[in-house]
Structure 1
């Protein structure tokens, strides 16, 4: 009877119960879709050793995190901050086929990582999914905030917008820190289509602007005159000079020396 109950429990719970104890994250990269691979098991984060880590594993990590296509795998790559010296290595080696939805579904093999150092951790680089963009600006890190919802691009109303929300957008795009955020910018071309977000309230720690609390999608009384504009730091500093406002004039470029 006990054996029968165990079999029934195993069938009913399936692999999901086991998988729920694993989840992955990428740490120390320029955005949420690139960095050192960490795995959480039973509330404890462990670093994944880079030995035998390959692109098929990266494909699964990118899929699990909701990122875009896998761009590459990095081992012994100094993502900062590095793992804590007392942070354990995950004791199993992943052997993914590239079709799994999560690392938890991949085959795993117990391995002795006694010789693996914190310079040998696994890394992953994925494309950033295009769900937010800065449009009609003088560079990729400056422009009108637009978000993608139901496969359609729309704008964000300035009501409730602040610097914390701008920080989230800049980080999501892989740009630098938010240096300026303005409620609207009268330009020759205004935003088109729906105004998706309004009263966005971010703490600044969210991974994406879609994670921030806001009014329901598309529910607002805003017009495109109230579209939000964000300026993130970029390796090339851009400015407009000699115009009638901060949104017009001659484009000036300053290349920052590394």
Structure 2
């Protein structure tokens, strides 16, 4: 599967021309939740899937642009669009929409004009995806999966008060960040005091919500707190080194969709390894290992064609082509690293 990420504010990769008149509407119902993102690195990034007749289906890339992607981001509560994503793959389920044409003011993708559903694959097997601003971040932690919880509202970042803050709340924050399970819910500005707005107070999550903003809480900005009560989280780290000679060498595995996935060695080099070594707290990269140097592992999923500049703070922030099934009939070689420092810091 090929994944291309085109970032705003650069010009969109796809033509803004649309081939269907604005009055041509799809038959999707706007009355029910009808959209999700899959195979992305967060809940606000991935391939677009729409629900119709109780079946999930794909959206073709033809005609897809930043305006269409922006409608998806808003519908999902993910803020503003940052780019379109292009997936080259076989369709996931049905193909429900093609040649989508949104005006930009729609509240859901179902309200946009589009062509009819297809029985064959999309043109050139290209499917639509989006990348949106994340509405949550973790600050002052030792890695991308720990820190003070901050949420984005009205284009301003603010903190979350720790009144009633517990593990179900923290679990939602961990999930929204694309991290593993929650380890602990931190209180009393454990990761330092924030500044500015305190956006959320009395958060009461069941633990199953997709985003923190979907949990019950006081209205935005309504609180009786100070920044000494800022909430934080410690989540399971989404990256590990396996079957190496020490804690700072081994096969690279990333946590994705509740399972550990290997990393393919296509294009794997020292820039990629440098990001991994730094992310796990192991200093500089010494070697980038290919050809399943540390063994094949047992993962059925593979993170494919990783391409890092070398300055990224996490492997999941590097460009990559998506997730492939690594079946026993077509086992692909995986990547590994050897890092300089044998003194990994743990959370």
TM bracket, shorter-chain basis: 0.5 to 0.7
Q: Which protein has the larger Cα radius of gyration, Structure 1 or Structure 2? A: 1
Question: 2:55 aligned with 1:55, yes or no?
Answer: no
Which of 40, 62, 66 lines up with 1:29 in the alignment? 40
Unaligned runs of 5+ in 1: 1-14, 238-251
Local SS of the residue matching 1:138? coil
Question: 2:87 aligned with 1:75, yes or no?
Answer: yes
What TM-score, normalized by structure 2, do the two folds share?
0.51
Task: Note the C-alpha offset of 1:142.
Answer: 1.9
Task: Note the C-alpha offset of 1:126.
Answer: 1.0
> Partner residue of 2:217?
214
Question: 2:54 aligned with 1:44, yes or no?
Answer: yes
Task: Note the C-alpha offset of 1:178.
Answer: 2.6
- Deviations for 1:146-198, whole angstroms, at most 9, x for unmatched residues? 223444433222221122211221222333433332223456x5222343322
Aligned 8 A contact 1:168 1:207 in 2:
yes
Change (3 A) 1:31 1:220: same
Task: Note the C-alpha offset of 1:209.
Answer: 0.9
Task: Note the C-alpha offset of 1:204.
Answer: 2.0
> Partner residue of 2:145?
141
Question: 2:120 aligned with 1:108, yes or no?
Answer: no
Unaligned runs of 5+ in 2: 1-24, 241-279, 284-314, 316-335, 338-347
Task: Note the C-alpha offset of 1:21.
Answer: 5.0
Task: Note the C-alpha offset of 1:253.
Answer: 1.2
Aligned 8 A contact 1:184 1:226 in 2:
yes
Cα separation, 1, equivalents of 2:84 and 2:152 = 26
The alignment of Structure 1 onto Structure 2 pairs a total of residues equal to 217
Runs of 4+ in 1 over 4 A off after TM superposition: 254-258
Change (3 A) 1:21 1:76: farther
> Partner residue of 1:253?
281
Aligned 8 A contact 1:200 1:213 in 2:
yes
Aligned 8 A contact 1:29 1:35 in 2:
yes
Aligned 8 A contact 2:151 2:157 in 1:
yes
Local SS of the residue matching 1:167? helix
Question: 2:193 aligned with 1:190, yes or no?
Answer: yes
Task: Note the C-alpha offset of 1:208.
Answer: 1.6
**Equivalent runs, 1:207-246 vs 2, <5 Å:** 207-235=210-238
Change (3 A) 1:121 1:21: farther
Which of 182, 185, 205 lines up with 1:202 in the alignment? 205
Aligned 8 A contact 1:59 1:98 in 2:
no
Output the aligned Cα RMSD.
Answer: 3.7
Tell me which protein shows more helix as a share of its residues.
Answer: 1
Local SS of the residue matching 1:253? coil
